[in-house]
Amino acid sequence: MSPVSSHVSHGLSPLHTVQVLGGGNAGSSAHVRSLAAGLVARGVRVTVCAPVEADRAYGFTGVGAKHVPVPRSSDPVSVAMLRTACADADLVHAHGLHASFRAALALSGRSTPLVVTWHNHAHAEGPRAHLLRMLERRVVKSATVVLGTTSGLVDRARGRGARDARLAAVAVPRPHAGYEHPERPRSKVRAELGATERPLLIAVASLDPHRGHDVLLDAARSWRRLDPVPLLVVAGEGPLRAALQQRIEDEELPVRLIGRRADVAELLAAADLALLPGSWEARSVLAQEALHARVPLVAARTGSIPELVGEAGELVPYRDAEALATAVVRLLDDPERREELREKGARQAATWPTEDETVAQVLSVYDELTQPQPLG
């Protein structure tokens, strides 16, 4: 049986937590929805402060949480809105660096415990790198506890001066009703994408710099020589869309950009391979979803990908289009190796925490920080 909040078990008024989101990261947004659902089920009152579009996409209110629309900005008006939303909170939990900074500003002068989760490695160069370090130091100084989703993030928080930093890996939540299309047969999904008689490769990532989409397109040039020619489908939206589309048309590449999709689970299930050319997420959502779905993964060896997938993925050097293309061609021609990766992927996924375990760990931290102190 799942544990309930000690506030409930001791007959106290329900614990009230405020979850603060910036709204820019799919992994942290999905985690907050999963966390909210689990906490509400355990008798915790949950308020989620996030942009309007985040609640529309992830449905925090649908799992029993209250949603307070707060813009992503750190301007005084947004911080004041957040401060008001946190007025009667027993504990505030912020997700991501910028959300944590806003929460620290909003709680200034108050004794409310602040839990911070770092989901990703933040990167900056030049003068922005100095600003990033200052921001991280300010956040960890304000936080009662910092939770890092990988050991590297825990070390980073400690290096910035965190008083208490702990490992708290998060589960990949299963898609929720309303966030995915009704189940469609694999053959129908492939037909809709135009891959009935050819291999289907899937990549899912925002179309931003440093995601490696240019490397994908470089690799796709090699696949044109195959028979049949594989189709690469890229789900995601972002500022590089126009430039990538222009290059696809100019070079006649076997690539389709299909924009932001709510049926990623179905796309993955229909794919022959999942591709991850570059990820600085601490725990790549695509990598986890691919292994859960038993889809062979080809990924760049970046960040915590090796720690996350172990031997369950085909890892290639970062920004090496030739190595990526070679790995894809080799796997498409080797059904036994693909099956081996499926089996290894399922075993690796079984070692990751479940949603229930993730919620239980976070709740134990909350109870630790909000337990009534004995008199005397």
Q: Domain with 154 in it: what CATH number?
A: 3.40.50.2000
Say what the pLDDT of residue 282 is.
73
Residue with tokens 């008001």: 84
Residues 143 and 192 in one domain: no
Task: Specify whether 20 is located in the same domain as 165.
Answer: yes
Mean pLDDT of 28-56: 95
Total count of domains within the chain: 2
213-270: pLDDT as tens digits: 999 999 999 999 899 999 999 999 999 999 999 999 999 999 999 998 989 999 999 9
- Identify the DSSP state of 225: T
Residue 15: count other Cβ atoms within 10 Å of its Cβ: 23
Q: Are both 26 and 39 inside the same structural domain?
A: yes
Q: Do the domain assignments include residue 109? A: yes
Percentage, residues of the chain above pLDDT 70: 92
Clarify whether residues 99 and 42 are in a common domain.
yes
Asked if the model's pLDDT at residue 125 lies above 90, the reply is: no
- Domain identity same for 279 and 362: no
Task: Render pLDDT for 288-328 as a digit per residue (tens, 0 to 9).
Answer: 999 999 999 999 998 889 989 999 999 999 999 999 999 99
- Domain contains 192: yes
> What is the rounded distance in angstroms from the CA atom of residue 43 to the CA atom of residue 318?
45
Q: For residue 314, give the 3-state DSSP assignment.
A: strand
Find the range with the poorest average confidence among 10-14, 190-194, 198-202, 228-232: 10-14
pLDDT at position 87: 97
Does 329 map to a domain? yes
Looking at the structure, tell me whether residues 196 and 329 fall in a common domain: yes
Decide if pLDDT at 60 tops 60.
Answer: yes
Residue, of 172 and 187, whose pLDDT is higher: 187
109 and 215 co-located in one domain: no
What does the block give as tokens for 262? Answer: 């709510």
50 & 95 share domain: yes
Domain that holds residue 107: 6-171+354-370
Kindly state whether residues 163 and 200 are assigned to the same domain.
Answer: no
Distance, first Cα to last Cα, the chain: 34
> What's the mean pLDDT in 188-213?
93
Among 14-28, 139-153, 348-362, whose mean pLDDT is lowest? Answer: 14-28
Q: Identify which has the larger pLDDT, 183 or 137.
A: 137
Do 324 and 360 share a structural domain?
no
Rounded Cα distance, 330 and 304, in Å: 24
Amino acid 11: pLDDT: 53
Do 74 and 163 have their domain in common? yes
Asked if 42 contacts 5 with a C-beta cutoff of 8 angstroms, the reply is: yes
Considering the chain, what is the average pLDDT of its residues? 91
Judgement on whether residues 207 and 287 belong to the same structural domain of the protein = yes
Q: Is the pTM of this model over 0.85?
A: no
